[in-house]
């Protein structure tokens, strides 16, 4: 492993924040992880990154930043399923495209989500009625404390809404090396989400293919969400709050046009973007930071904004939503 000192992370986070890592290196082989932790002689913090698409840096990182560059995809099958193992450093959307090209149904609704395969289970990424937990079979990890490889089955991962044990309980202990997905050979397309259903109707697609759904998702996302390579952002900055029946009824009584979705155990998930728009913040801008004009869930860097300026806007959004609805928005982005 070759470490670079005072390394700029501007190209390694999709907000394009120009901060530096004290030490930076790439992980191109699973042996590199073991070697690093075997020879590590200090207690400096370690940050594992993939595509940097879910990070907001507010200062330089005083420690080690390791970027996962592990590559490789392997396919096997049995009578009922395909099992596709992908290394943590594989680009997520490239992986989705691979699955669609091979007619493996289950992740097409997650097209164009930025990031890497290794980051997907951590956040339990989701979009258009699908979450990655629906197809994850096993997660292969490296334990930084025991220096051993550990495998977690789906049930062991404690997947929740934008959450897993890799984000909570074992956040600083486990590093994902690869993920194995299970795709049923009798897969049924998930086309119930309103945006997809409307597009299918508009395109007169009565029997859509997996590729049709991917194309629709890509078109819808491109029409609403800014490309990080053009306009710095980290996708959805806030989680949709999940509320009980009483809280939802209170909000619906005051705002009959509330946009919401079913959640588990009778709870409702309220669209955070709708709340932000109701607060008059959609398209709001101050200096080089702003709320995106087409999707209020997305905060953007219009140029040379600092991480603290973006965080300040995020706090303003949270304050306005709380004052209006009495709900606290949780950050989906990791703040560093």
Residue with tokens 């007619």: 103
Per the domain annotation, does 213 fall within a domain? no
Same domain, yes or no: 81 and 173? yes
> What's the domain count of the chain?
3
Average pLDDT over residues 230-243: 92
Residue 34 annotated in active site: no
CB-based contact 115:51 (threshold 8 Å): yes
How do residues 4-51 score in pLDDT, each as one tens digit?
Answer: 999 999 999 999 999 999 999 999 998 988 889 988 878 889 999 988
Q: How confident is residue 161, by pLDDT bands cut at 50, 70 and 90?
A: confident
Rounded distance between C-alpha atoms, residue 316 and residue 4, angstroms: 37
Q: Is residue 222 part of a domain?
A: no
List 108, 131, 162, 221, catalytic entry: 162
Residues 104 and 166 in one domain: yes
Give the residue among 55, 47, 44 at the shortest CA–CA distance from 11.
Answer: 55
Residue 214 lies in a domain: no
Calculate the average pLDDT of the chain.
93
- Sheet of strand 148-153: strand arrangement: 73-77, 81-87, 174-184, 136-143, 148-153
Phi-psi map region of 72: left, alpha, beta (phi>0 left; psi -120 to 50 alpha): left
Can you tell me the mean pLDDT for 290-295?
94
The CATH number for 86's domain is: 3.30.465.10
pLDDT band at 216 (very low <50, low <70, confident <90, very high): very high
CATH of the domain at 27: 3.30.43.10
Q: Please identify which of the residues 25, 53, 111, 236 carries the catalytic annotation.
A: 236
> What tokens does 287 get?
């200096």
Residues 328 and 238 in one domain: yes
Of 68, 89, 110, at which residue does a domain stop? Answer: 68
CA angle (71, 74, 76) in 5-degree steps: 165
The tokens for 195 are 């945006």
DSSP structure string for 192-242: -SHHHHHHHHHTT-SS--HHHHHHHHHHHHHHHS--TTTSEEEEE-BPPPE
Give the global pTM. Answer: 0.87
Decide if 329 is inside a domain.
yes
18 — alpha (psi -120 to 50), left (phi > 0) or beta?
A: beta
**Residue 228 pLDDT level (bands cut at 50, 70, 90):** confident
57-103: pLDDT as tens digits: 999 999 999 999 999 999 999 999 999 999 999 999 999 999 999 99
Q: Are residues 175 and 106 in the same domain?
A: yes
- Give the C-alpha separation, 116 to 106, whole Å: 17
Over 90: is that where the pLDDT of 224 sits? no
26 & 46 share domain: yes
Residue 195 domain-assigned (yes or no): no
Q: Residue 200 falls within a domain, yes or no?
A: no
Same domain? 109 vs 127: yes
Residue 285 lies in a domain: yes
Q: Are residues 53 and 119 in the same domain?
A: no
> Could you give the 3-state DSSP secondary structure of residue 18?
coil
Going by C-beta distance under 8 Å and a sequence separation of 6 or more, which residues neighbour residue 191?
A: 197, 200, 208, 213
- Give me the phi and psi of 288, to 5 degrees please: -100, 10
Share of the chain above pLDDT 90, in %: 76
203 is catalytic: no
Residue 323 lies in a domain: yes
- C-alpha 115: how far from chain center: 7
Active-site residue, 332 included: yes
Q: Within this chain, do residues 98 and 56 fall inside the same structural domain, yes or no?
A: no
Q: Which residue has the tokens 């969400």?
A: 225
The arithmetic mean of pLDDT across residues 192-214, rounded, is 90
One domain for residues 80 and 60: no
CATH of the domain at 301: 3.90.78.10
For residues 30 and 94, membership in a common domain is answered with no
64 & 86 share domain = no
Residue 270, domain extent: 232-335
């Amino acid at each position: 492993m070759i470490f670079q000192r005072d390394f700029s992370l501007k190209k390694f986070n999709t907000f394009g924040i120009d901060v530096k890592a004290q030490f930076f290196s790439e992980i191109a082989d699973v042996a590199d992880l073991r070697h690093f932790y075997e020879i590590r002689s200090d207690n400096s913090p370690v940050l594992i990154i993939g595509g940097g698409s879910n990070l907001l840096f507010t200062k330089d990182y005083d420690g080690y930043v390791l970027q996962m560059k592990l590559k490789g995809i392997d396919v096997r099958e049995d009578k009922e399923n395909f099992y596709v193992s992908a290394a943590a450093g594989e680009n997520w959307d490239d992986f989705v495209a691979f699955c669609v090209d091979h007619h493996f149904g289950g992740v097409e609704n997650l097209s164009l989500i930025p990031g890497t395969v290794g980051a997907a289970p951590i956040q339990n990424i989701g979009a258009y009625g699908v979450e990655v937990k629906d197809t994850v079979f096993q997660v292969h990890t490296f334990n930084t404390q025991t220096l051993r490889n550990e495998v977690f089955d789906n049930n062991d991962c404690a997947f929740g809404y934008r959450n897993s044990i890799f984000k909570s309980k074992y956040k600083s202990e486990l590093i994902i090396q690869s993920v194995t997905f299970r795709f049923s050979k009798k897969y049924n397309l998930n086309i119930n989400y309103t945006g997809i259903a409307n597009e299918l109707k508009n395109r007169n697609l009565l029997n859509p293919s997996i590729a049709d759904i991917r194309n629709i998702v890509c078109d819808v996302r491109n029409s609403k969400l800014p490309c990080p390579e053009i306009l710095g952002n980290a996708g959805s900055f806030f989680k949709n709050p999940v509320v009980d029946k009483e809280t939802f009824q209170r909000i619906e009584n005051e705002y009959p046009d509330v946009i919401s979705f079913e959640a588990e155990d009778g709870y409702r998930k309220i669209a955070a973007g709708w709340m932000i728009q109701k607060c008059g913040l959609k398209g709001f801008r101050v200096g080089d930071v702003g709320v995106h004009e087409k999707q209020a869930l997305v905060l953007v860097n219009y140029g040379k904004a600092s991480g603290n300026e973006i965080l300040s806007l995020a706090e303003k959004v949270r304050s306005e939503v709380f004052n209006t609805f009495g709900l606290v928005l949780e950050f989906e982005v990791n703040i560093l």
